[in-house]
Amino acid sequence: MEWVIAVAVKVIVIFTWALLTVLYITLLERKESAVIQDRIGANRASILGLRLNGFFQPYADALKMFFKEDYTPPFVDKPFYYLAPLVSIVFALIPVGAVPVADSIGLFGRKFPLSVIGSNVGVVLILSLLSLAVYGVIFGGYGSRNKYGVLGGMRGTAQAISYEVAIGLSLVGVLMVFPSLDLNEIVHLQNRYILGGWVPLWGIFLQPLAAVLFLIAGMAENKRVPFDIPEGESEIIGYFLEYSGMKFGMFFVADFVEILLLAALFTTFFLGGYNLPWLFTEGFHFPWGGSLAMSPIIVRIVQFVTFNIKLWIMIWFLLLVRWTYPRYRFDQLMDLGWKSLVPLSIFNILITAAVMVVIR
Amino acid sequence: MRLFIEAVKGLGVTMKHFFLNMFYHILRFFHLSHKKGETVTTQYPEEKRETFTRVRLRHRLLSRDDGRLRCVACYMCATACPAQCIYIEAEEDPRNPLEKKPKQFIINLGRCAYCGFCVEACPEDALRMDVHVPEISEYKKEDLLYDIDKLTHW
């Protein structure tokens, strides 16, 4: 019984957190692009004259999306057409639930991991759900009964499937260094220190190549500029061509959820997850000898805040990339995937294995 | 590899813009500086850009020292107007029987092309276009017929 309540609370709290983050990613996207392009950005939405420089803009955007006309063209393939946005958003949101936002807490004599799905095969789960997200794209394209939609869907599928390989292979290196499929355990293993305790043993220091590869492949999986050929705004609108109103909004939100997911995964695998350097379960242990005891709850809160800060830095970086590069051509994209990322990730596995053998 | 370096350089350009502009935005937020960095936005209703002195906007009718209009209803402006948007009805000036004065002077700003020919044509320097207010907008077309009352109160 307690277990059910705990899971229900976790579902509500963590998905609320995720969706709020997604809302503010849209705001950050607008503001950051504005600042990059020497503009100011949306800052007019106000509640009772309170503007806060655009703080309420995401709510206004969401409200607008809800009140738009939701038109279903008469020629569409109804089941697929209605299923596609759902599939997109559900398979983008569920993996977010597998990411631990803080260390597990002990309640009622049991251990509760602070992620909705405290699975011990979290990595596999996330990878498989990510591949299922492709169905959102292909259903959307196929169900629209529109040539451009089908083209976009095919492009998206080809892209997602080929970059799936690169993502998986780049994660193999990480899993070799942190031998666990449990995300919480991977984060735990990153809370070790080398060089006299000064440098944390984060994934990015152990697997720099894998970090770059994972980031690039993840961005391609995300289907945003510079890898937005499924959309290709200027030539084909893409797989959501025939969607309007909130059905389009769900595709749109799924995009941003995937940004959140990518940033969260990168943080977990390479930036030490929720670890603040030298913060352990009982408090800080500094390498210069000092220590600071803290109660477990405070530690969890600090970890959650740390995780969020790392997450936002990653999101900021992803948006920076999105507002910097032009789009890849399809053949360039395939070349990058199959001729650079996959060989490099295999090379990374070999190097990692060699180094591990030598060290042992 | 060379491509990768160039790509990172490109990232540097956007990052430079971001941090430079953000730096000035933060300084401005704490009222430490009024510089905007490279941001070009003008927050329009609150913040207005200075108009250039040569810009031609709303018309106005000037008055003499004793309060009478300078206009003598000579129809020069109405003749010069390429859009034919000036309507003048003249009457005798009771205070000086040698002069006329406009009984009605209406400029249809909905038709006006803001060419400034009327200002050039005016022999009395009675009409000018130097009201630097760009908000010439009305809810109804009829309200765009600016009469003496509107033209003397700007």
Residues 6+ apart with CB under 8 A from A7: A116
Rounded to a whole number of angstroms, the distance from the CA of A317 to the nearest CA of chain B is: 9
The answer, for A320 touching chain B at a CB cutoff of 8 Å, is yes
Q: Which two tokens stand for residue B73?
A: 């209803």
Question: Which chain B residue lies closest to A43 (C-alpha atoms)?
Answer: B43
Rounded to a whole number of angstroms, the distance from the CA of A34 to the nearest CA of chain B is: 9
Q: Which of B13, B14, B41 sits opposite A40 (nearest CB)?
A: B41
Give chain A's radius of gyration (CA, Å). Answer: 21
Q: Is the pLDDT of residue B106 over 90?
A: yes
Regarding predicted confidence, which is higher, A120 or A342? A342
Angle at B144 between CA B143 and CA B150, to 5 degrees: 80
pTM: 0.87
Cβ of B44: how many Cβ atoms within 10 Å? 8
Tens digit of pLDDT for each residue in A287-319? Answer: 777 788 888 888 888 899 999 999 999 999 999
| B87 DSSP β-pair partners | B106
Asked whether A8 and A22 are in contact (CB, 8 A), the reply is no
Query: Which of A32, A33, A40, A329 is the best mutation test for B, with the most CBs of B within 10 A?
Result: A40
The answer, for A212 touching chain B at a CB cutoff of 8 Å, is no
pLDDT score for A49: 79
Q: DSSP for A157-188?
A: HHHHHHHHHHHHHHHHHHHHHS--S-HHHHHH
pLDDT mean across residues, chain B: 88
pLDDT score for B87: 92
Q: Which two tokens stand for residue A40?
A: 């100011």
Question: Which chain B residue lies closest to A36 (C-alpha atoms)?
Answer: B18
Q: Which of B7, B14, B39 sits opposite A40 (nearest CB)?
A: B39
A contacts of B18 (beta carbons < 8 Å)? 32, 35-36, 320
pLDDT score for A27: 92
In whole angstroms, what is the distance from residue A262 CA to residue A270 CA?
12
3-class DSSP state of A265: helix
Q: Is the pLDDT of residue A102 over 80?
A: yes
Cβ density class A295-313: b for 16+ within 10 Å, e for less: eeeebbebbbebbbebbbe
In whole angstroms, what is the distance from residue A330 CA to residue A335 CA?
9
Q: Do A38 and B38 touch (CB under 8 A)?
A: yes
Asked whether A278 and A285 are in contact (CB, 8 A), the reply is yes
Q: Is A99 exposed, middle or buried (0-12, 13-18, 19+ CB in 10 A)?
A: buried
Q: Look at the block and give the residue holding tokens 């500029």.
A: A225
Tens digit of pLDDT for each residue in A111-149? Answer: 777 888 877 888 999 989 888 888 888 898 888 888 888
B contacts of A339 (beta carbons < 8 Å)? none
Q: Which of A32, A40, A321 sits opposite B18 (nearest CB)?
A: A32
Percent of chain A residues topping a pLDDT of 90: 30
Q: DSSP for A304-341?
A: HHHHHHHHHHHHHHHHHHHTT--PPPHHHHHIIIIIII
B window 39-58, beta carbon within 8 A of A: 39-41, 43
Q: Is the pLDDT of residue B153 over 80?
A: yes
Q: Do A320 and B10 touch (CB under 8 A)?
A: no
In whole angstroms, what is the distance from residue A217 CA to residue A160 CA?
9
Rounded to a whole number of angstroms, the distance from the CA of A19 to the nearest CA of chain B is: 26
